[in-house]
Amino acid sequence: MAGAARGRRCRGAVLLLLVASVLAPLVLYGRSPVPYLPDSTVARGAFDRGDGSGSNLVWPQMAASEVSLAKDLTIERLGEHKNRVLSATDDWQAVEVARSHPSEKKIDTWEDPVSRDADQVVAVGNDSAQSTQDGMIKEVVSTDGRADGFRDPGDSRVAEEQDGQGMDEKELQDATELEHKDGSGASENNIAGTDTAGNLTSSLNKESIADTSSDQTTHASANADLATLVSSTDHSATSPDATIRIIKDQLIRAKTYLGVLASRGNHGTAKELRARMKDIQRALGGATDDGMLPQNVHGKIKAMEQTLGRIKRMHDGCSGAVNRLRTSLHSTEERLQSHRKDANYLAQLAAKSLPKGLHCLPLRLTNEYYSSNSNNKDFPNTEKLEDPQLHHYAVFSDNVLAAAVVVNSTLVHAKKPANHVFHIVTDRLNYAAMKMWFLANPLGEAAVQVQNIEEFTWLNSSYSPVLKQLESSSMIDYYFGSGKARPGENPKFRNPKYLSILNHLRFYLPEIFPKLNKVLFLDDDTVVQQDLSALWSIDLKGKVNGAVETCGESFHRFDKYLNFSNPLIASNFNPHACGWAYGMNMFDLSEWRKQNITDVYHTWQNLNEDRLLWKLGSLPAGLVTFWNRTFPLDRSWHLLGLGYNPNVNEKEIRRASVIHYNGNLKPWLEIGLSKYRKYWSRHVNYDQVFIRECNINP
């Protein structure tokens, strides 16, 4: 009787899965079931209008390239959905064959393909996959938004951001929200699956089995499961990423079980599982081979396997669905990682592109500068340039319009504009254009100076380690050659801007301004919103650098930027020390000269010639150079994130003295976040003749 009842339950579960699989496309797209239509037809119905206009109904504000990517992801998802239906059909046929031949014993070895929880697992998995796909486009564009980082392969506290591998913070939040729902276990995109899962879960709750195994049995079973997992891994034990594959497999199973636990109200076990997932994800970090994993990773794997084993025994009826879902997720995640890499590369390419208008502007200004008959091309108020009693700003940029916004926004909010002096340093290519802009747009009582970096004859390869490294053949081939990046390497670190001398000129402020005592450094992607005069009256208490700290939880601490597996770094710095932001920094040049900071910078830059201490960029070099020499400023002085984070609080933006568009999404690019562009564009005079001629619009 028990066998017959179980057979009826199996047939009922499979039948419900088939019905849900056929009805779900009808509910979602209002068309024929997926197995009988070409995938391209379904995708077109989901994204295009019925009138053939081709306009996007799902995401009307999305760019064409993003819609194309979303279509591709939807087509892949529908194909996987069809495969699950066909797989369930095969299992049903196997049951029928076994029932028609009772003399054969194969039915005893056949495993229940779909239990009462199976539909629920599939529904939860579908919901999670859909959420991941919907958020991928924004995720890959903004992965470069945070400061340049180095993921420490020997530390388990690597920040969970940017790399796109494993479960990120958004997935944890989604899982937490799912835990507090009413048990349906699925979103609006899985209406049929939700109803089925709710009925099956209600039935299963009546027959749930308590976990009465002892700790010894739990450990033994977990070890057995782990051994089975290792033996079933696609790669052999000698594969360089065998352990990484085990971790990823555990995360896939954990995500599946998490939805089941939440729907059944088992919040205690769900909380434990989320903690295990977060712990093992931190251990995984951005590792691409087993050698990059921390030493304690095997203990974390064993602990995770014990938790998964205990949950499996509590919900052993889900094993068939879990196995099929695991195979599907493995394949899907591999393809997703490939698409993420491609999208990340395209995002980096878009961030480095120059809009046509911004390409036109310096050309038009340069032509005007050299064709002008005026012999007087000097700025007024030159006597203020070396007056230490005034407020001096340093802006190093090759972007004329960006530098103009920094200057304009500062003067608009200055209480006494006559006390402000702007020192702009640019390269030879943009020198004439930069100078012509400020000649055509005078600053009134304020003073401005435009310098060509090539006029600094003291700045050469024999003095600057960066210039020396730039001239090496290996560095030139790496950054300017056609060679491909190493596997797992972030393509942003191959951007030559990280070796730009303009980017490192901030370490030579005393040499550039020998007669000044204090200088406020501003990046060209900042906008000033309040009078900054009070910064010059802040007592830095003997420190050289005044900056806003950026640490929060595990993000933006030293171990994110520096390689603490290197003994030189580990012995000199604290991995938990709080990082700080470049972009708005008050530098005490008197203390700088007294403490000989430039030599400290040269020492560390020479030690990092092979890039083993940190990846390229000015922030890691600044962290080691100004270690124990940085004074923390109030956070309201400098707000970051407008170049990558779409969720910056509007009140904080209005309250901040300086807002910073750090990241790929610059306000002058088409890919910039439109909701934040207004703070930047309000300081651009679009009626200016050169801007009109270059067709630059808000």
Average pLDDT, the chain: 73
Element (H, E) at 4: helix 2-29
Q: Name, in order, each residue with C-beta under 8 angstroms of 207's C-beta and a sequence gap of 6 or more.
A: 116
Please give the Cα distance from 136 to 255 (Å, whole number): 18
Confidence (pLDDT) at 611: 79
Between 203 and 478, where is the model more confident? 478
Is the predicted pLDDT of residue 135 greater than 50, yes or no?
no
**Lookup: tokens for 372:** 């002008």
Instruction: Tell me the average pLDDT across 76-84.
Output: 58
Please give the Cα distance from 61 to 67 (Å, whole number): 10
Instruction: Tell me the average pLDDT across 527-544.
Output: 96
Please give the Cα distance from 446 to 413 (Å, whole number): 13
Confidence (pLDDT) at 534: 96
| Side-chain half-sphere exposure of 55, counting CA atoms within 13 A | 5
Band of the pLDDT at 559, cuts 50, 70, 90?
confident
Confidence (pLDDT) at 91: 55
Q: Tell me the CA distances in angstroms from 639 to 298, 528, 533, 623, 655, one per residue in order.
A: 40, 11, 18, 19, 9
Residue 20 contacts residue 119 (beta carbons within 8 Å)? yes
Residue 660 contacts residue 523 (beta carbons within 8 Å)? yes
Confidence (pLDDT) at 328: 75
User: Which of 26-30, 105-109, 263-267, 279-283 is predicted with the least confidence, judged by mean pLDDT?
Assistant: 105-109
Phi, psi angles (nearest 5°) of residue 463: -105, -40
Confidence (pLDDT) at 191: 35
Which residue, 328, 334, 318, 336, is CA-closest to 85?
Answer: 328
Which residue, 246, 229, 312, 330, is CA-closest to 283?
Answer: 246
Q: What is the per-residue pLDDT across 359-393, written as a single tens digit (0 to 9) for each? A: 999 999 999 999 987 777 889 999 999 999 999 99
Instruction: Tell me the average pLDDT across 301-326.
Output: 76
% of the chain surpassing 70 pLDDT: 60
Confidence (pLDDT) at 216: 45
Band of the pLDDT at 169, cuts 50, 70, 90?
very low
Sheet holding 638-639, edge to edge: 526-528, 658-660, 638-639
- 673-681 contacts: CB < 8 A, separation 24 or more? 673/642, 673/643, 673/646, 675/646, 676/642, 676/648, 679/527, 679/529, 679/642, 679/653, 680/405, 680/527
Q: What is the per-residue pLDDT across 642-659, written as a single tens digit (0 to 9) for each? A: 999 999 999 999 999 999
Secondary structure class of 172 (helix, strand, coil) = helix
| Maximum C-alpha span of the chain | 106
Residue with tokens 């990082």: 579
Element (H, E) at 279: helix 267-284
Phi, psi angles (nearest 5°) of residue 421: -130, 130
Q: Name, in order, each residue with C-beta under 8 angstroms of 490's C-beta and a sequence gap of 6 or more.
A: 162, 163, 344
| Alpha helix ranges (H) inside 506-635 | 509-512, 558-561, 567-570, 589-595, 597-607, 618-625
SS (H, E, C) 196-232: HHHHHHHHHHCCCCCCCCCHHHHHHHHHHHHHHHHHH
Instruction: Tell me the average pLDDT across 124-149.
Output: 41
Q: How many helices (H) does the chain have, and how many strands (E)? A: 26, 10
Q: Tell me the CA distances in angstroms from 672 to 88, 239, 347, 359, 676, one per residue in order.
A: 46, 42, 11, 17, 8
Distance from the Cα of residue 596 to its chain's centroid: 36
Is the predicted pLDDT of residue 538 greater than 90, yes or no?
yes
**Lookup: tokens for 334:** 């591999």
Confidence (pLDDT) at 345: 76
Residue 672 contacts residue 691 (beta carbons within 8 Å)? no
What's the N-to-C CA distance of the chain in angstroms? 75
SS (H, E, C) 371-405: HCCCCCCCCCCHHHCCCCCCEEEEEECCCHHHHHH
Hey, what amino acid is at 289? D
Band of the pLDDT at 532, cuts 50, 70, 90?
very high
Q: Tell me the CA distances in angstroms from 507 to 89, 243, 466, 570, 600, one per residue in order.
A: 67, 42, 11, 24, 10
User: Which of 138-147, 263-272, 460-469, 504-513 is predicted with the least confidence, judged by mean pLDDT?
Assistant: 138-147
Tell me the whole-structure pTM to 2 decimals: 0.56
Instruction: Tell me the average pLDDT across 573-593.
Output: 94
Please give the Cα distance from 96 to 91 (Å, whole number): 9
Confidence (pLDDT) at 130: 41
Which residue, 260, 305, 259, is CA-closest to 279?
Answer: 305
Distance from the Cα of residue 227 to its chain's centroid: 34
Between 433 and 88, where is the model more confident? 433
Instruction: Name the E strands within 242-399.
Output: 391-396
Between 481 and 347, where is the model more confident? 347
Q: What is the per-residue pLDDT across 264-284, written as a single tens digit (0 to 9) for each? A: 777 888 888 889 998 888 888
Q: What is the per-residue pLDDT across 324-338, written as a single tens digit (0 to 9) for each? A: 677 777 778 888 888
